[in-house]
């Protein structure tokens, strides 16, 4: 079989006897963008914490690039829901630090960071402290930081969940354009159906707690994509279909805000 960027096999996890993840299996191929869609509280962040090695599953294995990494840290490039920039480091220094922790030599990290910040229009903020940036800007830095990290798999946990609707749409466009010219393996957690459809190659739909995989849906839209997709009939048809899947009647809890 082929080597996946991420191969999660039969993961189960419970907290104090209450099952949160129930026999979940997910794969991400090399260069594939997979969206993980599920109601809040279904266990998506918990799954990420396990991929990141912060906790161990009761059952199952996690493989990254063919290597067994269950319970090990440092194998993923990570973008958390909050930007999580160190407030005493400038924007550039924050990005550089993530690269250095990932094992990139200092000089190379510096050069790469400067180049990319300029390239994505954040050049003038390179030497600013994070608190002067807006929420959207901070998330851009956080994304670039994950993108430049040497770990091959990017895990994005509701990266735009805390942003207002307009900023969120701009950020989706921005991420899409950067990702499409720099394809990395991505696992994106979201509870927005539109976001999953716009960005991903495949959508994995999780049930409510305890989460299990309800369905895997390939997203057929050609790339490069843009916001015109939103008004196409197929987009709206698929949106309806997934919405039906996530309805409480199908065993999923209310798909509310996180």
Partner 1 sequence: MGSKLRRGWPPLAVILLFLLAWQGVVMYGGIKPYLLPSPIQVIQEALSDKVWPRLVEHTLATAQRTLLGLFLGTAAGIVLSMLLHLLPGARRGLSPMLILSQNIPIIVLGPLLMIWLGFGELPKIVLIVLVCFFPITVAMMTGLRQSDPRLANYLAMIGAGRWTMFRRLELPGAVPYLFSGMKIAAAYSVTSAIVAEWLGAKSGLGYFIKLSASGFFTARVLAATGIIVLFSLLLYGLVAAAERWFVRWKPQGEGGGLQP
Ligand X SMILES: Nc1ncnc2c1ncn2[C@@H]1O[C@H](COP(=O)(O)OP(=O)(O)O)[C@@H](O)[C@H]1O
> In angstroms, how far is CA 250 from the centroid of its own chain?
25
Contact 258, 208 (CB under 8 A): no
Contact region with Mg ion (CB under 5 A), list: 27-35, 41-49, 72-80, 142-150? 41-49
Tell me the per-residue interface mask from 62 to 101 with partner 1, x by CB under 8 A, - otherwise. -----------xxxxxx-x-x-x-xxxx-------xx--x
> In angstroms, how far is CA 113 from the centroid of its own chain?
21
User: Which 116-175 positions form the footprint of ligand X (CB under 6 A)?
Assistant: none
Q: Is 45 in the site for Mg ion (CB under 5 A)?
A: yes
Q: How is residue 164 annotated by DSSP?
A: -
Q: What's the min distance (Å) between Cβ of 46 and Mg ion?
A: 8
Contact 255, 39 (CB under 8 A): yes
Q: CB-side exposure of 171: number of CA atoms within 13 Å?
A: 23
User: Which 45-104 positions form the footprint of ligand X (CB under 6 A)?
Assistant: 45-46
How many Å apart are CA 132 and CA 216, to the nearest integer? 41
Q: What's the min distance (Å) between Cβ of 48 and Mg ion?
A: 8
The binder of 101, among Mg ion, partner 1, ligand X, none, by C-beta within 5 to 8 A per type, is: partner 1
Locus of tokens 């996890």? 13
- Residues of this chain that bind ligand X (CB under 6 A): 15, 20, 38, 40-46, 209, 258
């Amino acid at each position: 079989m082929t080597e996946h960027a991420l191969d999660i096999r039969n993961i189960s996890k419970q907290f104090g006897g209450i099952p949160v993840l129930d026999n979940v299996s997910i794969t991400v191929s090399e260069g594939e963008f997979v969206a993980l869609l599920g109601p809040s509280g279904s266990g998506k962040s918990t799954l990420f914490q396990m991929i990141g090695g912060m906790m161990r599953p009761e059952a199952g294995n996690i493989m990254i690039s063919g290597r067994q990494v269950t319970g090990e840290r440092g194998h993923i490039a990570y973008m958390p829901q909050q930007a999580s920039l160190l407030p005493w480091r400038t924007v550039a220094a924050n990005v550089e630090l993530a690269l250095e922790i990932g094992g990139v030599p200092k000089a190379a990290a510096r050069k790469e960071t400067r180049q990319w910040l300029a390239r994505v229009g954040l050049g003038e903020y390179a030497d600013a402290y994070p608190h002067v940036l807006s929420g959207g800007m901070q998330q851009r830095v956080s994304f670039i930081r994950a993108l430049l990290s040497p770990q091959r798999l990017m895990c994005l946990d509701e990266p735009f969940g805390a942003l207002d609707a307009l900023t969120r749409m701009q950020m989706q466009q921005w991420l899409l354009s950067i990702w499409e010219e720099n394809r990395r393996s991505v696992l994106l957690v979201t509870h927005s159906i539109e976001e999953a459809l716009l960005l991903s190659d495949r959508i994995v739909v999780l049930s409510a707690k305890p989460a299990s995989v309800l369905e895997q849906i390939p997203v057929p839209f050609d790339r490069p994509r843009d916001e015109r997709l939103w008004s196409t009939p197929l987009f709206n048809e698929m949106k309806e279909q997934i919405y039906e899947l996530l309805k409480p009647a199908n065993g999923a809890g209310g798909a509310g805000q996180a």
